[in-house]
Structure 1
């Protein structure tokens, strides 16, 4: 399996997106905040899933993905597909990493809206709390903290 599907790769992608989300929120570009916050959550959720078992990233509609993530089929990196944010969160809830959180669900819906339509960006302004709460939970599962860089934690 490629390094782009490693927990560390997803972690670094989440970190980059989380920084963009915070910059967006500070500007205030709330539709961009929703987009980048949702990407941060999705990538960090995938980092947690792959850290537990790479098969947990399998997109269910493609059995070749199951064989690829199971280590028995080599595929071109451009053809590899993983679960989306909503499914990754659902899986993390099923295994007890995340709890039901309607605000997180709304944030992901806003992220999808920002990517595919023109959302009501005023709603996104208040989504910083579910973002921080979710990041803290997922980092905790990875054995990381929200400590600033240089003080021990790998903060997104």
Structure 2
């Protein structure tokens, strides 16, 4: 009997999501492998850490997406990128310019409200910033007091 000592061997084929296991057996003096790789996806656009299209590259079609972060004058552009199978936001808001003391219609302190200057903390804005606090130096002087 020829090749009676040849034992079946485990085999692997395909890459990424197409990787499969099989067995190589000796048939009429030659090893025949029954391993068949899986079918690849058309694209690898999901950010999942898997080579879905079986080309040896992981998540290469998962395109970065534009994002923004921060509010007011601190708002900045960034991107959401696929890194090691997970979406990662890359965005750094700008630093605040200071307080909203200029009444310029901009959110200088990046709190989401433009010209919210209230120097005495009584909750009423001074008139030049669109409020009705007649004395923004005194917390006891406010509309209705």
Which protein is bigger by CA-based radius of gyration? Answer: 2
Relative to its length, the structure with more helix (as a share) is: 1
Alignment TM-score, normalising by the size of structure 2: 0.19
Q: Greater relative contact order (Cα 8 A, min sep 6): structure 1 or 2?
A: 1
Q: Which has the higher strand share?
A: 2
The alignment's TM-score, normalised by the length of structure 1, stands at 0.18
